[in-house]
Amino acid sequence: MTARKRRVAGDRVEAVAWSRYGMRARFRGVLRPGWCRLQSRFLIVGMAAAAEPGGGTRVALTGGVRVPGRAALLPGAGRELRRAMDRLARELGL
């Protein structure tokens, strides 16, 4: 997935993401030091990062499929989230 920031106003952010299959999603969310939550019509993603005692950074990533009109998230984003974490680890040389 590729994402681009479109607009930032205070702690509010808008972004657009494209999948390798050509699907697009417009995300709106909150971006604050150490964490970010983004939500589109059908997806929700949360990211956080914190310094580890003794050096390093702990990163967390979660998400799911959102069904409008339902209170619950459905599973389904796990594989893409694992791939994103693997790409991050490769880019950092971990």
Mean pLDDT of 8-23: 87
Torsion, CA 8, CA 14, CA 17, CA 23, rounded to 10: -160
Q: How confident is the model at residue 8 (pLDDT cuts 50, 70, 90)?
A: confident
Residue with tokens 């339902």: 70
Domain that holds residue 83: 2-92
Mean pLDDT of 49-70: 84
Mean pLDDT of 78-91: 77
pLDDT of residue 72: 63
Q: How many domains does the chain have?
A: 1
Asked if pLDDT for residue 12 goes beyond 90, the answer is yes
Q: Is the pTM of this model over 0.75?
A: no
